[in-house]
């Protein structure tokens, strides 16, 4: 089988191996593939491995040998699934490979907002501690998480892992789950009891709100001017879900006014970030470039799971199919 990896540099910039896929066929790996390059690079290939390279309906007629598309991600919106079905092409994704890493990154963003480690480290490296008459100094107020309330929007595997980690800091954890029938119940999450509340009640009582929901019609801009008006003054907001689950202009206004004490995110509405993104340069704002999924161990797991998906397809028993 001829296997073409179309945009491999995100998952593997050279620090891990494609060996697991190489054992299943002849692999050609490209760092990035533009729309104009896609057809030429896929000629004669039965298998495409993609992360962000788009397979829209126009390309399928031009790739008669294509039998399988493996998406190197959990989300698979880069593939026109209806067109794939029409052409008999199996499409798979890799679910839940980044649960631990994403929960860890969520806490890293929160801790950066509460402890300001980066701000203080930069000041030390700039020589401020050397000039300080006291043994310590504070560039801005720090926040203790013990006794605070964390409200999670979306209580899947990542949300439950975050709940477990937050509980370890002595936080009370509540959540608005996707399954609204759970409202009013207590859900167990790794030994932590999470009380399920509707969105309004949950954000009103929270010191921290953390987003872990998929992007759907119901969750698009779930955090907006109206929902932000319910927040406690000075509350923190964390987004390791998808950029469009918030209204970025509304969040910027809340940061400027002080309604939000801080915003930490690993995602924005348009990626890579645009120069005119309203959050660029915002106060009390920490944004990382969509890296929650990218520890070495996590990316290695991703490639191994993608290879397992392809092997299952070749064995006639496909798994993690989305078509």
Give the contacts of 195 (CB within 8 A, at least 6 positions apart): 173, 174, 175, 185, 186
For the chain, the C-alpha Rg in angstroms (whole number) is 22
Q: Which CATH number fits domain 99-287: 3.20.20.150, 3.30.70.1400, 3.40.50.720, 3.40.50.300?
A: 3.40.50.720
Model confidence pLDDT, tens digit, residues 34-81: 999 999 999 999 999 999 999 999 999 999 999 999 999 998 999 999
pLDDT at 285: 98
Calculate what percentage of the chain has a pLDDT beyond 90: 99
Q: Which CATH number fits domain 2-97+296-314: 1.10.287.70, 3.40.50.80, 3.40.50.720, 3.40.50.1100?
A: 3.40.50.720
Is 290 one of the annotated active-site residues of the chain? yes
Is 23 one of the annotated active-site residues of the chain? no
Number of H helices, E strands in the chain: 11, 13
Q: In sequence order, which ranges of the chain are alpha helices (DSSP H)?
A: 19-22, 35-42, 57-60, 81-86, 99-115, 117-125, 157-168, 199-204, 225-228, 248-257, 296-314
> Which one from 86, 188, 271, 297 is the annotated catalytic residue?
271
State mean pLDDT over 273-297.
98
Question: How far is Cα 91 from Cα 69, in angstroms, rounded to an integer?
Answer: 5
Closest alpha carbon to 8 in 30, 36, 35, 34: 30
Same fold, 2-97+296-314 and 99-287: yes
DSSP code for 207:
S
Residue 49 — φ and ψ, nearest 5°? -115, 120
State mean pLDDT over 105-114.
98
User: How do the domains of the chain map onto residue ranges?
Assistant: 2-97+296-314, 99-287
Tokens 């509350």 belong to: 235
> Which one from 161, 242, 252, 299 is the annotated catalytic residue?
242
pTM: 0.94
Is 242 one of the annotated active-site residues of the chain? yes
């Amino acid at each position: 089988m001829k296997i073409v990896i179309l945009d491999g540099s995100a998952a593997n910039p050279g620090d891990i191996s494609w060996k697991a896929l190489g054992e299943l066929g002849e692999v050609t790996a490209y760092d990035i593939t533009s729309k104009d390059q896609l057809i030429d690079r896929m000629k004669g290939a039965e298998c495409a491995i993609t992360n962000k390279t788009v397979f829209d309906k126009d390309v399928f007629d031009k790739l008669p040998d294509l039998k399988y598309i493996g998406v190197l991600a959990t989300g698979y919106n880069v593939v026109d699934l209806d067109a794939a079905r029409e052409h008999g092409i199996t499409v798979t994704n890799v679910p839940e490979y980044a649960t631990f890493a994403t929960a860890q990154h969520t806490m890293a963003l929160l801790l950066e907002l509460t402890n300001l480690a980066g701000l203080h480290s930069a000041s030390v490296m700039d020589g401020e501690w050397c000039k300080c008459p006291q043994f310590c100094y504070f560039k801005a107020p720090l926040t203790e998480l013990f006794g605070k309330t964390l409200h999670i929007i979306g209580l899947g595997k990542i949300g439950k892992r975050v709940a477990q980690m937050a509980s370890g800091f002595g936080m009370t954890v509540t959540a608005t789950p996707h399954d609204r029938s759970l409202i009013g119940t207590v859900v167990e999450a790794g030994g932590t009891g999470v009380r399920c509340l509707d969105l309004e009640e949950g954000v009103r009582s929270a010191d921290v709100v953390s987003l872990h929901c998929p992007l759907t019609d119901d969750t698009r801009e779930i955090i907006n001017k109206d929902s932000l008006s319910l927040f406690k003054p000075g509350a923190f907001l964390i987004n390791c879900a998808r950029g469009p689950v918030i209204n970025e202009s509304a969040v910027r206004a809340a940061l400027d006014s002080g309604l939000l004490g801080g915003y930490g995110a690993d995602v924005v509405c348009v990626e890579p970030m645009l120069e005119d993104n309203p959050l660029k340069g915002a106060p009390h704002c920490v944004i990382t470039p969509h890296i929650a999924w990218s520890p070495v161990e996590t990316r290695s797991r991703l490639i191994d799971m993608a290879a397992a998906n392809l092997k299952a397809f070749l064995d006639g028993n496909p798994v993690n199919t989305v078509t």
